[in-house]
Amino acid sequence: MESTAYFKDQFEQLQQTGPQGTIAGLRKEGFEDFNGRGLPSFRDEEWKYTNISTLFQQEYNLDGEAGIEPSELDAIRLPGHEQANELVFVNGIFKAEYSCIRSGANELIVMPLQQAAEGEYKTLVETHLNQSAAYIKDGLQALNTALIYGGLFIHVLKKQEPVQVYVYHILEAAAGPVLAQPRSLIYADKGAQLQLTESYTTIGNADSLNNQVMEVVVEENAYVEYYKLQNDNSNASQVSTSHIRQIGRSYVHTVSIALNGGMVRNNMNLVLDAEGNESHMYGLYLLKGKTHVDNHTLIDNRKPNCFSNQLYKGIADDSATAVFNGRIMVQPDAQKTNAYQANKNILRSDLATINAKPQLEIFADDVKCSHGCTVGQLDEEALFYLRARGISKEKAEVMLLQAFAADILVQIKPKALREHAEKLIDKHLSL
């Protein structure tokens, strides 16, 4: 039986002890919404292939006051961190003390979400925070909103070179199962350039669940790259929402890579809310063991003359499950939209499952939209070619799988990160 009563206590405690204002108001809305919806079940169309409620059969520790050792942080720093701004969440709470801002105040402003909501960013936060709720109507999104605490606000200003931001999500699960609910709002101002990378690490052997909501607002002439690396241990589950809205003519490029984890659900939304937007969305999932990864993507074309391209590729081995649910919407106003989507899967084991559901919903006539989806195996002839040249079967398979993954890896633009991802994948495939 799912246990959710303790969320109420947490909510009431936050409302009583924390400051009032915008965020408290949102929490209230979120909590009412959560009460109305409850946790998603597999009967909900959007959760058909991911039975997330099984994760809620135990009670999680909601206490965000855990600390970490500096050595624990050093162990997970990503390559290239010497030049990047590093921001740290521990159990869903943004920790300024572990973070390191290297950019100047004329390039990057980082502050707690609560502080932004009270100060000069009040209107901005009020306008943009929780816009994702209109798109993701489920209990987990509502739960995150209901318990917003210790969130992060980032303002990226206009600059010639991209500002690098690494966000480390650390879950301290040594003492028992932990639920983290990080929340962030990122505002890429006119002409800003941002390279944002997120990684996830669970410390300890107990279960962890990271129910994250990140909202990014992209202004005119801004350029945003977003990389998500999921390579946590098999007790670490995630529901990770990234909601990116392009409100001015701008460019967005996302790459999401999932290797290890428990049950992982990624909601990746791109809302193209201005004329002439360009967006690219890439994803790779290489799953083994019992890992379950559900990539739910949405590209909502709202204005004319937008272009979007999406490519998700995945391999499911052992008893892993991969879900791809890619939705492209073209609203009545969005004439001259070009939207492409492709999803390619390789199934390596009879115990593994691939569920794919590419969707097109089109309400404008002057558009070019297509999607393609395949599930198959490695090409016998390619394997034969390699083996005829004296390469062992195992080696040949790994080579072909690496080539399969390479299409996505080349989309990681920063060299240090790409090499890091390549190494991770080589290791992952050769095991």
Partner 1 sequence: MKEKPEALEQAVLNEYKYGFVTDIHTDLIAKGLNEDTIRLISEKKNEPGWMLDWRLKAYAGWLKMEEPTWPNVKYPPIDYQDIIYYAAPKPKKQLNSLEEADPELLKTFEKLGISLNEQKRLTGVAVDVVMDSVSIGTSFKEQLSEIGVIFCSISEAIQQHPDLVKKYMGSVVPMTDNYFAALNSAVFTDGSFCFIPKGVRCPMELSTYFRINAENAGQFERTLIIAEDNAYVSYLEGCTAPMRDEHQLHAAVVELVALEKAEIKYSTVQNWYPGDKNGLGGIYNFVTKRGICKGDHSKISWTQVETGSAITWKYPSVILKGDHSIGEFYSVAFTNNHQQADTGTKMIHLGKNTRSRIVSKGISAGHSNNSYRGLVRASKQAANARNYSQCDSLLLGDKCGAHTFPYIEVKNKTAIVEHEATTSKIGEDQLFYCKQRGIDAETAVALIVNGFAKEVMNQLPMEFAVEAQKLLAISMEGSVG
Residues that bind partner 1 (CB under 8 A): 45, 332, 335, 345, 347-350, 352-377
Beta bridge partners of 57: none
- Alpha-carbon torsion (238, 398, 76, 79), positive or negative: negative
Comparing CB distances to partner 1, the nearer of 101 and 383 is 383
Comparing CB distances to partner 1, the nearer of 67 and 376 is 376
Please, what is the minimum distance in Å from the beta carbon of residue 321 to partner 1?
10
Please, what is the minimum distance in Å from the beta carbon of residue 44 to partner 1?
10
Please, what is the minimum distance in Å from the beta carbon of residue 391 to partner 1?
22
Q: Where are the alpha helices (DSSP H) in 276-339?
A: none
Comparing CB distances to partner 1, the nearer of 4 and 335 is 335
Comparing CB distances to partner 1, the nearer of 122 and 368 is 368
Please, what is the minimum distance in Å from the beta carbon of residue 376 to partner 1?
4
Please, what is the minimum distance in Å from the beta carbon of residue 387 to partner 1?
19
Strands (E), 204-320: 208-218, 223-231, 236-246, 251-260, 263-272, 278-287, 292-301, 307-316
Please, what is the minimum distance in Å from the beta carbon of residue 366 to partner 1?
6
Comparing CB distances to partner 1, the nearer of 47 and 187 is 47
Comparing CB distances to partner 1, the nearer of 252 and 367 is 367
Comparing CB distances to partner 1, the nearer of 104 and 376 is 376
**Which residue in 275, 265, 258, 270 sits closest to 240, CA to CA?**
265
Comparing CB distances to partner 1, the nearer of 232 and 294 is 294
Comparing CB distances to partner 1, the nearer of 27 and 265 is 265
Comparing CB distances to partner 1, the nearer of 115 and 338 is 338
**Burial classification of residue 37, based on how many CB atoms lie within 10 Å of its CB (0-12 exposed, 13-18 middle, 19 or more buried):** middle
Distances (CA, A) of 142 to 33, 145, 216, 268: 6, 5, 18, 17
Comparing CB distances to partner 1, the nearer of 138 and 215 is 138
Q: How far apart are CA 239 and CA 230, in angstroms?
A: 12
Please, what is the minimum distance in Å from the beta carbon of residue 379 to partner 1?
11
Please, what is the minimum distance in Å from the beta carbon of residue 357 to partner 1?
5
**Burial classification of residue 160, based on how many CB atoms lie within 10 Å of its CB (0-12 exposed, 13-18 middle, 19 or more buried):** exposed
The SS3 assignment for 153 reads strand
Q: How many CB atoms lie within 10 A of CB 158?
A: 15
Distances (CA, A) of 399 to 319, 373, 420: 22, 23, 18
Please, what is the minimum distance in Å from the beta carbon of residue 360 to partner 1?
4
Kind and range of the H or E element at 113?
helix 113-118
Distances (CA, A) of 250 to 124, 161, 186, 192, 216: 19, 16, 15, 10, 13
Q: Which residue has the tokens 């669940």?
A: 209
Please, what is the minimum distance in Å from the beta carbon of residue 346 to partner 1?
9
Strand pairing category for 178-180 and 307-316: unpaired
Beta bridge partners of 172: 203
**Which residue in 323, 355, 342 sits closest to 281, CA to CA?**
342
Strand pairing category for 278-287 and 307-316: parallel
Please, what is the minimum distance in Å from the beta carbon of residue 350 to partner 1?
5
The SS3 assignment for 104 reads coil
**Which residue in 218, 278, 216 sits closest to 241, CA to CA?**
216
